[in-house]
Amino acid sequence: MFRAIILCIGLAGCGGGGADSAAPEPAVSYASFRQSVIDTGVTPFSQVPDSGHHRYSGQMALNLPFGSMPRAEYIGAFDLTLAVGGGSLGASGQVAGLTDGNGSDLGGALAFGGGMLMPDADPRRDFLWLADLEGDLTKDGIVYDLSAKIRGDFYGADADGLAGLVYAGAIRQGGDIDIFDGSFAGRAAD
């Protein structure tokens, strides 16, 4: 139940779109793309590839506060490689090109790192993998340091999609700190 509520919150956002491409163009709705990935169904852990490098491309939406400005949703493209082997997972890649769709673009990129598979996860309520996200973003000439955790599931019969949540996000600038969250979805890029 708790996970279903979080997923519903993460789906709030823009409207319209299509799902035939791996990573939709910014004009295509992030919410529609994300839903098209989720609609393929969670891949059972027994069907998740147990070795190799698996590359995904997609979009990430982050609810970011900057100073005294109201929180806004920024959407950017990501490339993520998950290295699976020996029961472990390593994440690499980045999120870049974050924009609010109203002409406010962020400079910089966020990098994926770390990683852990959760083989005992119950896909009805738990996520199958975890990773880290961190880096610097620039807005109006000011640099902000961001860090967060991501939790995700694989989707589709062949784990050809992934989606999940960004949580425990911290955004720092000087002595100020605030929190953020978000969500992401992608499709196999290989």
User: Which residues are within 8 A (CB) of 16 and not within 5 positions of it... i.e. 6 or more apart?
Assistant: 28, 29, 32
Per-residue pLDDT reduced to its tens digit, 71-124: 999 999 999 999 998 878 999 999 999 999 888 899 999 999 999 988 887 777
The model's pLDDT over 125-153, given as tens digits with 9 standing for 90+, comes to 888 899 999 999 999 999 999 999 999 99
d(CA 119, CA 112): 21
Model confidence, pTM = 0.83
pLDDT tens digits along 66-79: 888 889 999 999 99
Q: 185: closest CA among 27, 47, 10, 52?
A: 10
Taking the alpha carbons at both ends of the chain, their separation in whole angstroms is 34
Distance CA 72, CA 63 (A): 5
Tell me what the mean pLDDT of segment 43-66 comes to: 92
